[in-house]
Structure 1
Amino acid sequence: MTRLANATLGSLPPAVARPAYDRAAVTTGIVHLGIGAFHRAHQAVVIDDRLAAGETTWGIVGASLRAPDTRDALKSQDGLYALAVRSAAPTRLRVIGAVSKVLVAPEDPERLLARLADPAVRIVSLTVTEKGYCHDPATGGLAEDHPDIRHDLGDVLPRSAPGFLVAALDRRRRAGHPPFTVLSCDNLPANGATVKRVLARFAALRDAELGRWVAGELACPSTMVDRIVPATTEADRAEVDAALGVTDAWPVVAEPFWQWVVEDHFPTGRPDLAASGVEMVGDVAPFELMKLRLLNGAHSTLAYLGFLAGYETVAEAIADPALAAVVTRLMDEATPTLRPLPGFDIESYKRDLKIRFANPALRHRTWQIAMDGSQKLPQRLISPARDRLAEGRGIGVMALGIAGWMRYVTAVDEKGAAIDLRDPLGDRLKAIAAAAGPVAERLAPALLAMPDIFGADMAADPRFAGPVTRALASLFAVGARETAARAARGELSLEA
């Protein structure tokens, strides 16, 4: 079958939306690091709208810091790909044209550096996942002992996101060009402030003057992003190809809902994001906490308990009354830890989240969400638990979500089969679990003693350690589904 490309756009069925602008007239104003499915289903769609509105200096060059898969898929498609929006209604297809090309950093790091240093590039956005920032989740600072950071501080071409950003910023400084704006779109707490802290420290370690320049001149606005984007499957590809009448090597699938909240601080300019529905605000923090603690906290809890209970997808997991009850209680217990959003209906937001989780047309795998849990837990479950303790409250079913992660990282499921554990601390976690064995009273303290995940205070606090240990003991004894059912019935003690 013919491939999707500029030359085949005209042959697509009339119902398929496509770029409403001359792609040849678009110039690059944004470089995006981490050109995965989420970016292509979220930020790139907004930029596609802005290009169609005539803002043609904001085209995207994507960059992969690891594998060439996305570049290989899109190269012969002129960067085009289809977005399939799925719900109970018929699937809607749209071809996105905002990405002109994809670079692969390990193949040619100098080419990526040159593009980043180009003064025409005014924004560098990132979706590199929490682990891609080479930061310490417990402190929010640079992980100076990270292998990639140690490598990039040498007189070599970089391989980490901080390394590429700081090396390019140094080139711009030496050439007399202003810095680009760094726009993190990952689920980090205070992601703008976090990336600024990481980059300024890395720059200072590289060169004191550069460190002062980055600290004083670099803009890193905070953001909150929200859209459920499952990994694309072969079945998805086949369905999209049939609907397009041409082959798309890597379409993306998403739910109808999306949200993007951005701190409005772009010294060198930005597209008119608000015209495409982006919320431009002075303070992102209340939106960020809401999303991290309600959506992401519930997602992680569903992922661990759902996977252990044998559910492949989030929709299957939320259909279980016991797991649905745990999610409802988790959201209710997290709500008092949020910052006020005047005029915002938080109860409606929570109801809508559960509807989104149950979307029958999305196959969002619990295993996919469970990845990199050591990087996600601090902001999704540990921080709200810490806030509840500070207010004199118990941690409630947050204990069950954390215990679910502890059970998951043993890398053996409830039937004795191996779990494909994907986590930057995976080897360390599996070693701890193997030494402790399936005994909650040994495993929980050993994992709680990891300060890079739990900080220095939680292991010794019985109000936290006690409920987590009891929840883990129940998971070992009766499994995830029955433990969730006991929690839903109030039969599982989750207080200190």
Structure 2
Amino acid sequence: MILSKGNLKGIKVPGLTVPDAKLFELPEKVLQFGTGVLLRGLPDFFIDKANRAGIFNGRIVVVKSTDTGSSAEFDDQDSLYTLGIKGIVDGKKVEEDIICSSISRVLTAGKDWAAILEFARNPDLQVVISNTTEVGIQLVEGDVHKAPPVSFPGKLLAVLHARYEALGSGEASGLVIVPTELIVDNGKKLKAIVLELASQNDFDKDFINWVDQYNYFCDSLVDRIVPGKPDAKTIERLEDQCGYSDNLRIASEAYSLWAIQGDEKVKSVLSFAKADPGVVIEPDIEIFRELKLRLLNGTHTLSCAVAFLSGFKTVKEAMEDPIFSVFITQLSFNEIAPAIPYQVSQEVAHDFAAKVLDRFRNPHIEHQWISISAQYSSKMKMRVIPVLMQHYRTETTPPENMTLGFAAFIRFMKTVKNAKGEYVGTSNDQEYKVTDDNAAIFAEAWKDENTDHVVHSLLSNENLWGGPNLIILPGFEEAVAKKLKHILHDGILDPVK
């Protein structure tokens, strides 16, 4: 039995949230560009939850923008899909299974462009959401009158123009547009490109003014691990348990955040935010970006080499080790949280840090340390160096755990170039590949057998760190060299202790 509206009555699984029939009668209020698992596991989930609570009361029309594939899987299941949420919240395991009904239909840009423009003219439409990957928000010059236009900004411009022509230039016809692509200032950049395309294609000034004044392009930040469709064995097991097949089934962690930059007008339109504390609408969302960058990404980066050199393959495996768990907790709470280069209370920082560690402990997520190590040096520059510099604005001694993380990073980057032109290192008698644009710099430094020279050469290389010469930080060079020697002589676990 396949998941569909007609088969819902036959699905009786304890603990499974099944949509009420009245939810299918709700008006279509959202146009979404993208069918990916992140959208279905975060924004679409939030809207589904709000609809079930009687708050937003609107469904989503999804545009499949890519030329490959079709909407058949969605059509076969009436756009229903199961979301399995598993994770740890406040130290306790959370498991929830929901059949989401927020999507009403899926249209393909290549075949259904006329229907998409027809929906653009619908007065019920209030919101546009997108996730077209980072390369989706870019200026592609060309004729936006094509059916469809090539780029996502071109498609959005065509949608806005169709709406403007049908409903006029008043405030009531404007939309709230929330891109979720993983780039900074995604809303501002999307708006700038749309306005540039409108100018290039000689749209009239009244339309351009309407786009600028009455459509709200909101910067947003999304944060949730949505690994995607479970493997074949898991799907088979779930089908046996639930009694139905679902080709759109996805899984996600329990943690969720969708931070949207907007005012009271935006908040009133995006009323689904009331249904879940994971949706945050504020005039400034930079604090959420900083917390994520420093306490999630920065903690990952500083602990990556420590974990990998200790022999741990995955994040959850490392978190199960009591020695490593103490290290990463002290690193996050005692060193990174107080040194975030943004005005944030320690209460807020510690609360976020606790959630991060809960996420790291999630037994259902297989996050490989070697994957986290990709472009390690640039991650250190972007995520860690600003925290280190902030630490030294108030302290005169090196941070113990950050220093260990730095020393382990340098040891991890000890590589040689193989016959294929790849940079490879060795740890615990296992060879590993380093994927880093600066790998050659580290390999060259490691040709010197003197550990002090290696550390001095790398810490003084301002190009690696985006400007600062790390040699000038009191005691830092000496502390890193000391820990690196300890790692080389005794292994990584002893320095963690």
What is the CA-CA distance between 1:311 and the residue it aligns to?
4.8
1:363 to 363, 366, 372: 366
Does residue 1:463 correspond to 2:465, yes or no? Answer: no
Q: Distance in 2 between matches of 1:375 and 1:216?
A: 38
Matched position secondary structure for 1:50: helix
Which amino acid is 2:157 matched to?
V
Q: What is the DSSP-based 3-state SS (H/G/I as helix, E as strand, rest coil) of the residue aligned with 1:294?
A: helix
Q: Which residue of 1 aligns with 2:29?
A: 29
* Of 83-92 and 385-394, the range deviating more from structure 2: 385-394
Alignment of 1:86-105 (within 5 A): 86-87=86-87, 89=93, 91-105=95-109
The Cα shift of 1:123 comes to: 1.0
- Residues 343-492 of structure 1: pairs in structure 2 closer than 5 A: 344-366=347-369, 380-381=383-384, 384=387, 396=402, 414=426, 415-416=430-431, 438-440=443-445, 458-463=465-470, 488=496
Match of 2:418 in 1: none
Q: Distance in 1 between matches of 2:377 and 2:163?
A: 35
TM-score by length of 2: 0.71
Equivalent residue in structure 2 for 1:165, among 135, 156, 169: 156
**Change in 2 beyond 3 A, CA 1:373/1:280:** same
Q: Which residue of 1 aligns with 2:223?
A: 226
Aligned length: 457
Inter-partner Cα distance in structure 2 for 1:179 and 1:159: 23
Contact 2:144 2:155 in 1 (8 A): no
1:218-264 deviations in Å (ceiling 9; x for gaps): 31234444333333331432343233111111322223333444344
How far 1:378 moved relative to its partner? 7.7
Aligned partner letter, 1:43:
P
Could you tell me whether the CA contact under 8 Å between 1:79 and 1:100 is conserved in 2? yes
Residues 10-40 of structure 1 show CA distances to partners (whole Å, capped at 9, x for unaligned) of: 2222421111342431232112233322222
Report how far residue 95 of structure 1 moved. Answer: 0.9
Structure with bigger gyration radius? 2
Query: Displacement of 1:96 after TM fit?
Result: 0.8
TM-score computed with the length of structure 1 as normaliser? 0.71
Please list, as runs of the form range in 1=range in 2, the aligned pairs for 1:68-147 lying within 5 A after superposition.
71-87=71-87, 89=93, 91-105=95-109, 107-108=110-111, 110=113, 114=117, 117-119=120-122, 120-134=124-138
Instruction: Judge conservation of contact 1:35–1:70 (CA < 8 Å) in 2.
Output: no
The correspondence for 1:252, drawn from 250, 253, 263, is 250
Q: Is the CA contact 2:50–2:57 (under 8 Å) kept in the aligned structure 1?
A: no
Q: CA shift at 1:94, angstroms?
A: 1.4
Which deviates further from its counterpart, 211-220 or 348-357?
211-220
Which whole-Å CA distance do the structure 1 matches of 2:383 and 2:133 have between them? 14
**Structure 2 CA distance, aligned partners of 1:39 and 1:269?**
19
Counterpart in the other structure of 2:336: 334
2:236 counterpart (224, 238, 249):
238
CA contact (8 A) 1:301 1:404 kept: no
1:137 matched to which residue of 2?
Answer: none
Q: Distance in 2 between matches of 1:115 and 1:33?
A: 15
Structure 2: where are the runs of 5+ without partners?
Answer: 416-420, 448-454
SS at match of 2:60: strand
Q: For residue 293 of structure 1, what is the aligned residue in structure 2?
A: 294
Q: C-alpha deviations, 1:305-337, integer Å up to 9, x for none?
A: 767876553212434544862574256443232
Give identity over the alignment, percent.
20
The letter for the 1-side match of 2:38 is F
Deviations for 1:50-92, whole angstroms, at most 9, x for unmatched residues? 2223457521123344475694543311111111122474743
Contact 1:399 1:464 in 2 (8 A): no
Letter in 2 for 1:240: L
The answer to whether the aligner puts 1:185 opposite 2:180 as a matched pair is yes
Relative to structure 1, the CA distance from residue 202 to residue 418 in structure 2 (aligned partners, 3 Å threshold; closer, same or farther) is farther
Secondary structure of residue in 2 paired with 1:249: coil
Secondary structure at 1:86's aligned position in 2? strand
Q: CA RMSD in A?
A: 5.0
Structure with greater proportional strand content: 2
Cα deviation code 1:249-300 (max 9, x no counterpart): 1322223333444344346833342144334433322233212321233345
Q: Which runs of 5+ in 1 are unaligned?
A: 135-148, 422-428, 449-453, 490-496
Output the amino acid matched with 1:30.
V
